[in-house]
Amino acid sequence: MQSGPLQLWVSPRFPRDRHQRTLGLLQAEDANVNLLLIGLGYSLFDARYQLPSNFDSYVDAEAQAYEEKRGIWSKYASRRRYLKRLANEGRTVYSRTNRRYVTKLQKAESVDFARYDKRFIKLAGRSERRFSKGSYIELLLLENGVEVVVRQMYQDRLPSWQFGYQILVEGFVQKYHDKWQVQLFRGVSAQWGKLECCSTN
């Protein structure tokens, strides 16, 4: 890595963060440096701006670092602080040992949201309607009246599909004005038994 070529890939959509720091993927020979740092626990998987095409590789690396208590996940106070930061960004660590993460897939037709308050779930259901709730928020309605809140920054994280199709959404459960909702982090199309990721580089 010290003597080999380095390549930096920067997305034209999100070249910098709000602090004007360059956002990109660093490749050293055959090694994905971003992925290595996450797997060693030296970095979070920052998914605020754009989801990589190999999304599962990143969440798996982060989960393994979390479970093995590496780096930023090694101390209780640090783990708590970074989990809170991730929750503010709309997601959590995809680990069975993380109590905020629900591993079992839920179905819109039968989910009991009261069991999963303030926890991150994966929810499958049939899409029925999508409409605007102002300049920055859309609502996606699934079967059984399930509401999925889609904030402006994540509106491109829903796949291309037609109403009546099966969709899988991921996000935190919360209660708003006595109505249970899922705050969308990511959406995946599940029509014809095929998963099609909603957003790639």
More confident site: 42 or 155? 42
**Phi, psi of 121, deg, nearest 5:** -125, 165
CA 157 to chain centre: 9
Radius of gyration of the chain (CA): 18
CA atoms within 13 A on the CB side of 8: 6
Residue range 101-148, pLDDT digits in tens: 999 999 999 999 999 999 999 999 998 988 888 888 999 999 999 999
5: pLDDT confidence band, cut at 50, 70 and 90?
confident
What is the reported pLDDT for 3? 65
> What does the longest C-alpha to C-alpha distance in the chain come to?
59
* pLDDT (0 to 100) of residue 65: 98
The closest alpha carbon to 101, from 80, 82, 87, 81, belongs to: 87
Q: What is the pLDDT of residues 154-174, one digit of tens each?
A: 888 887 666 788 899 999 999
Domains of the chain in start order, with CATH, are: 6-88 (2.40.50.90), 106-197 (2.40.50.140)
Task: Enter the tokens of residue 64.
Answer: 């393994």
- Predicted TM-score (pTM) of the model is 0.86
64-68, 85-89, 135-139, 168-172: which range is least confident on average? Answer: 135-139
Evaluate if residue 62 carries a pLDDT over 70: yes
